[in-house]
Amino acid sequence: MVIRPLASSAVEAAAASIHPPRDPNTLSNYNAWRTKHTTANFEIDFEAKRLRGFVDLTLESLAKEETTIVLDTSYLDVSSVEVEAAAVEFDIASSRTGAYGSPLTIKLKQPYANGVTVRIGVSTTKDCTALQWLTPAQTSNKKFPYMFSQCQAIHARSLFPCQDTPDVKSTYTFNIRSPLPVLASGLPTGARDFLPGKDGKSGTLLYTFHQEIPMPSYLFALASGDLASASIGPRSVVWTGPEELKASQWEFEKDTEAYIQAAEKIVYPYAWTTYNVLVLPPSFPYGGMENPVYTFATPTIVSGDRQNVDVIAHELSHSWSGNLVSNASWEHFWLNEGWTTYLERRLQVAIHGDERHRDFSAIIGWKALADSIEQFGEDHEFTKLIPNLRGEDPDDAFSSIPYEKGFTFLYYLEKLVGINKWDTFIPHYFTTFKQRSVDSYEFKATLLSFFAKDAEAAAALNKVDWDTWFYKPGYPPKPSFNTDFADMCYDLAAKWLLLNEQQQDQSQSSSSWKPSASDISDFTGNQIVVFLESLQTNTTPLHPKLVSQMGAIYKFTDSQNVEIVSRYLVLGLKARDADVYPRTAELLGQVGRMKFVRPLYRGLIDCDEKLAKQTFEKNKDFYHPICRGMIERIFSEKAQGSA
């Protein structure tokens, strides 16, 4: 096959012939071509840590005379491109466009007004940002290797050439060959065609899946390893390692089906047939990833107390907001996460039967929002509901802001029109944009149109300052949340702060209150979180002796709930309690979830930079590439700040 490189201006020439796309974080010319179906044919090579095979992209032509196709790639090895079994010219740009990678330009021999299927031979490389490969030593039973993908936001392009934008949705077929069980973000259609291994090694099976509901590329998901499964409901299964299966089943079997039914009552019936959970190894960088059919989840939610299953409520809610109705670009990410956080909290009310649970969760969310805004700075672009991400890596903008600022906006709109009327809009919105991608302006137009004939609601919506909500950086107006469940947390924190004042100023009289384990015996896990966070936000850190005393009395470091342990350690780091430094380093070697890793590294760097660097060097191969890159940026920011 002869490959003739194209002119370096090919990408610009193709882009000039079409209207600007809505998504600034893709290099593909998706306004000229639109992917309708994707078939991924891969062999998982654990020894080489590669996916190898070919991908078929069926593309619809939107510009009938266009003969150039531009696809996103990042660190990919593309060996061939064929159309109708004949090789065609292709070129991958020699230089990268930052996080956006290197565009693959394909030159067709003629226009295909009715569409075309392109076959691309491809292999991932060692620099692939979407995959993590674990050796047997990195898994719980030390017996088998493991691999899993994480494609959000723009990492699918490091798996295969694609239009890596949420503005494009495709159906998918997965044909995946592996020596170990495979899961993918589609419905399984069988495992067959055994091939014996070479040189006496174990053979492979072909695992096949199909996803008939169009989904964006960031929801492409694969995992393969020593997996076992158990039922957690009439249409739900949990998958994880054999040793972790019993604990995971217990954690989820009580609430999963109840959550599904509650969500169906708020929106409409679940569309993806089955809802399953894959509990991944501890290096998974997120709490959960809403891949269709199989939510990928962190093992930190398996805490033995069912205190963290709200993560499942969140990921399940994505089955409607994000998966069926997707943000058109990462600038409109709040439409995914704000809606999902809103639905998650409505599910909590439905399950617990008490509206106060929603406000209590929102109080915790507001603290996360404040942390993100303070980290970026109140005037930072990334604190806007709709940030400008042109030229930016969406991962850099990732924070609690689209979740919590988005929730706050929807909560405000609900209160504005009244919950009964608002509840009629919810299924209308998710029906209007079902299997489509939507931006904030379409959301606004649909909302106003829906209530146009309701004079009272329309008048209320006319009061909305849309530009301020969409584009003003920093904090939104804070709602008046019910604090019934939080007040006892604040009261306990106040007692510790009084002890702290006495510790700092020996002239003060001693308090008659003495802390004991009974102080928190009736607290839920989230109430302990609120207690610890309220102490974190106090302007005067706790005295180190008080932190150690608290840990000894309440046994926080013995907890299996990482939400609690991590916040206690952050409190200790703020107090510069040297007793928590070793436990912090230990936890950073056990958990790769960025929610915990980010504040713990920031705190440890401030207290003991040498230990922080040693901890990272020791564990950098444990972390997922996305998490590892985030930690490296934290160190870089620290170095720049010290310069």
Per-residue pLDDT at 139: 87
Per-residue pLDDT at 10: 43
Whether the per-residue pLDDT at 8 is higher than 70: the answer is no
Domains delineated in the chain: 24-224 (2.60.40.1730), 227-319 (3.30.2010.30), 329-471 (1.10.390.10), 488-641 (1.25.40.320)
Average of per-residue pLDDT across 550-573: 96
Contact 525, 306 (CB under 8 A): no
**Whether this model's pTM surpasses 0.85:** yes
Annotation marks residue 342 as catalytic: no
Rounded to the nearest 10°, the torsion over CA 158, 163, 169, 173 is -50
Cα angle vertex 466, ends 19, 428, to 5°? 75
Q: Is 150 annotated as a binding residue?
A: yes
Whether the per-residue pLDDT at 359 is higher than 80: the answer is yes
Per-residue pLDDT at 65: 92
Average of per-residue pLDDT across 511-534: 94
Contact 440, 332 (CB under 8 A): yes
* Least confident window among 13-17, 22-26, 577-581, 616-620: 13-17
pLDDT in tens, 597-616: 999 999 999 999 999 999 99
Cα atoms in the Cβ-side hemisphere of radius 13 Å centred on 245: 12
pLDDT in tens, 208-250: 999 999 999 999 999 999 999 999 999 999 999 999 999 999 9
Average of per-residue pLDDT across 570-587: 97
Phi, psi of 300 (to 5 degrees): -70, -15
β-strand partners of 191: 207
Average of per-residue pLDDT across 446-474: 98
pLDDT in tens, 14-39: 444 434 689 999 999 999 999 999 99
* Least confident window among 200-209, 318-327, 474-483, 513-522: 200-209
Per-residue pLDDT at 504: 78
Catalytic residue (one of 403, 411, 429, 601): 403
177, amino acid identity: R
pLDDT in tens, 49-77: 999 999 999 999 999 899 999 999 999 99
- Name the residue with higher pLDDT: 642 or 78: 78
Q: Is 381 annotated as a binding residue?
A: no
269: burial class by Cβ within 10 Å (0-12, 13-18, 19+)? exposed
Per-residue pLDDT at 508: 65
Average of per-residue pLDDT across 482-486: 96
Q: Which residue, chain included where needed, has tokens 């890793």?
A: 597
* Least confident window among 119-123, 244-248, 577-581, 622-626: 622-626
Compute and round to an integer the Cα radius of gyration of the chain: 25
pLDDT in tens, 378-427: 999 999 999 999 999 999 999 999 999 999 999 999 999 999 999 999 99
Q: Is 337 annotated as a binding residue?
A: yes
Residue 197: pLDDT band by 50, 70, 90 thresholds? confident
Per-residue pLDDT at 507: 60
- E strand or H helix at 71, and its extent? strand 68-71
Catalytic residue (one of 315, 404, 533, 563): 315
Mean of all residue pLDDT scores within the chain:
94
Q: Is 495 annotated as a binding residue?
A: no
Contacts of 15 (CB under 8 A, 6+ apart): 29, 70
Instruction: State percent of the chain over pLDDT 90.
Output: 88
Instruction: Look at residue 172 and give its three-state secondary structure.
Output: strand
Per-residue pLDDT at 506: 67
Whether the per-residue pLDDT at 311 is higher than 60: the answer is yes
Q: Can you say how many angstroms the Cα of residue 40 is from the centroid of all Cα atoms in its chain?
A: 23
85, amino acid identity: A
Annotation marks residue 315 as catalytic: yes
pLDDT in tens, 148-189: 999 999 999 999 999 999 999 999 999 999 999 999 999 999
Q: Is 290 annotated as a binding residue?
A: yes
Q: Is 152 annotated as a binding residue?
A: yes
Contact 171, 211 (CB under 8 A): yes
Nearest to 280 by CA among 258, 306, 318, 311: 311
Residue 201: pLDDT band by 50, 70, 90 thresholds? confident
pLDDT in tens, 97-130: 999 999 999 999 999 999 999 999 999 999 999 9
Per-residue pLDDT at 14: 40
